[in-house]
Amino acid sequence: MTDQSLPLARRLLVPYWLTLPMAIGLAIVLFWLLMVVLAPVVAPYDPLELVGRRLQPPSWQHWLGTDALGRDVLSRTLFGALHSIPIAVIVVVLAVSFGALLGALSGYIGGLFGSAIMRLVDVTLSFPPMLLAMAVAASLGPGLENAAIAMVIVWWPVYARLMRAQVLEVREREHVEAAIAAGASRPRILFKHILPLCWTPILISATMDLGQVILLAASLSFIGLGATPPTPEWGSMISDGAQQFYSWWVAFGPGVAILTVVLGFNFIGDGLHDYLDPRSE
């Protein structure tokens, strides 16, 4: 309906998958991705240097003020992308790899092996994710790498379950039977005839989870289990800000950063969902 009423010029210029939320999401995510590369160029100050008096409110020198040690909050927020986003990407890639592989094997081989994997998934998912991540991260010790390992352990079962459901559905399709009849081996059938048709929900879910993982990483850092000071990580910056109750700006920068990046990934995930899954709506 709305598409029909758009002016012709707009319909020709704007591809149909580029909805407004998708465009906003892409813009936000693109901004933060650029910051991963460009933070050292764009940021006005060194994020670790004490560049001003402590706890200065926003001013022309320090757009987002300074923190308790006198570091520039804007610079630290921009540099934060350098830590948060690559970690999130690595965590999601690892979780998807492990989860999808185990889920696919579980769905395809089935039997005792398949059930064993799914029970492991059930057990893992029955913990609140934050609690499990805290426990694992705490036992491994602080540091972003350990937090990443903890998050992979928390996150892979989601993809295992998704992938298993997909494989169970696709393996009953007729082209799989045709491939068996053509004499294809079992690994070949799984990797060439089943898996290529299973990625859509994984892709959508992974995009949305990028935001969630950033949030979880920040939460771990907030309670001191992630990044160690003085790393400009958003979670630990908010943690610093929480100590400075009357200097709202210390937590404001990283807070907005987390808010926007999570929102951006969710918008993209939603857009992908509408684009890739025509059954929805």
Partner 1 sequence: MNTPLFSVRDLRVGFLSRSLPLEAVRGIDLHVDHGEVLGIVGESGSGKSVGMLGSVSLLPPSAYVTGSARFQGQELVGLDRRSLQKLRGSRIAMIFQDPLSSLNPVTKVGTQIVEAIRLHDRKISKRDAMERAIELLELVAIPEPNRRVHQYPHEFSGGMRQRVMIAMAVANDPDLLIADEPTTALDVTVQAQIMEVLATLQKRLNLGLILITHDLGVLAGHADRVAVVYAGQVVEQASIDDLFANPKHPYTRGLIASIPNISEEKERLFSIEGAPPPLGRLPSGCAFNPRCTMAQDVCRNLDPQTTTDGAHSVACHFADDKEGACA
Question: What residues have CB less than 8 Å from 29, skipping those under 6 apart?
Answer: 261, 264, 265, 268
User: Pick from 182, 187, 246, 280: which binds partner 1 (CB under 8 A)?
Assistant: 182
Give the interface segment with partner 1, choosing from 96-104, 180-188, 207-215, 219-227 (CB under 8 A): 180-188
278 binds partner 1 (CB under 8 A): no
* 7 vs 196 by CB, closer to partner 1: 196
111 close to 189: Cβ distance less than 8 angstroms: no
What gap in Å lies between CA 181 and CA 164, rounded to an integer? 23
User: Pick from 62, 83, 193, 273: which binds partner 1 (CB under 8 A)?
Assistant: 193
- What number of other Cβ atoms are within 10 A of residue 241's Cβ? 22
Residue 230, preceding bond cis, omega within 30 degrees? Answer: yes
177 binds partner 1 (CB under 8 A): yes
Beta bridge partners of residue 66, listed in sequence order: 72
* Type of residue found at 249: W
The footprint of partner 1 on this chain (CB under 8 A) covers a number of residues equal to: 18
Q: At its nearest, how many Å lie between partner 1 and the CB of residue 278?
A: 14
Q: At its nearest, how many Å lie between partner 1 and the CB of residue 174?
A: 4
Give the interface segment with partner 1, choosing from 154-162, 175-183, 242-250, 259-267 (CB under 8 A): 175-183
185 binds partner 1 (CB under 8 A): yes
Q: At its nearest, how many Å lie between partner 1 and the CB of residue 155?
A: 27
* 36 vs 109 by CB, closer to partner 1: 109
Question: What residues have CB less than 8 Å from 256, skipping those under 6 apart?
Answer: 77
Nearest CA among 217, 201, 197, 195 for reference residue 89? 217
User: Pick from 184, 223, 263, 276: which binds partner 1 (CB under 8 A)?
Assistant: 184
Q: Is 155 left (phi over 0), alpha (psi -120 to 50) or beta?
A: alpha
Q: Which residue has the tokens 């289990």?
A: 225
* 7 vs 187 by CB, closer to partner 1: 187
183 binds partner 1 (CB under 8 A): yes
273 binds partner 1 (CB under 8 A): no
203 binds partner 1 (CB under 8 A): no
What gap in Å lies between CA 142 and CA 224, rounded to an integer? 7
> What would the two tokens of residue 140 be?
């491994």
Q: At its nearest, how many Å lie between partner 1 and the CB of residue 92?
A: 23
Chain residues that interact with partner 1, rule: CB under 8 A:
173-175, 177-186, 188, 192-193, 196-197
